[in-house]
Amino acid sequence: MKSYRKEVWFNVPTRRAFINITPKVEECLIESGIKEGLILVNAMHITASVFINDDEPGLHHDYDVWLEKLAPHQPVSQYHHNAGEDNADAHMKRQIMGREVMVAVTNGKLDFGTWEQIFYGEFDGKREKRVLIKIIGE
């Protein structure tokens, strides 16, 4: 069995963003040489997510509005976690959108359902963060 590991870094200029990282994951898969197996992609920070959904800007806008309703950033004083910081909402948004995804690798390709793409979700940006890509198989 082969094993491949890579950390991919992000520095998002805004507080929140959704970035399609599918091309990056595909690059890693080619680099790994693995044709049959599993790929795990996870955020290595507790205020960022990795999730799978549609690459459609309207939907991403809707996610942002929905998450702001569930866990508004302001007023920051509403959260106990924010004694000394201001990112309680980002922890909650990450919890809802998820930590990681797993995708099957078949014939050297990501074995996606229709319209599925992998996204990095940032909820407390403007700093360096990373995503782990781990691929196992043969």
> For binding to Zn ion (CB under 5 A), which residues are involved?
85, 87
Specify the residue, 70 or 104, whose C-beta has the smaller distance to Zn ion. 70
Q: Which residue's CB atom is positioned nearest to Zn ion?
A: 87
The residue behind tokens 């922890």 is 91
**124, 11 Cβ separation under 8 angstroms:** no
Nearer to Zn ion, 49 or 87 (CB): 87
For Zn ion, the closer of residues 56 and 85 by Cβ is 85
CB of 19 to Zn ion, least distance (A): 21
To the nearest whole angstrom, how small is the minimum distance from the Cβ of residue 69 to Zn ion? 20
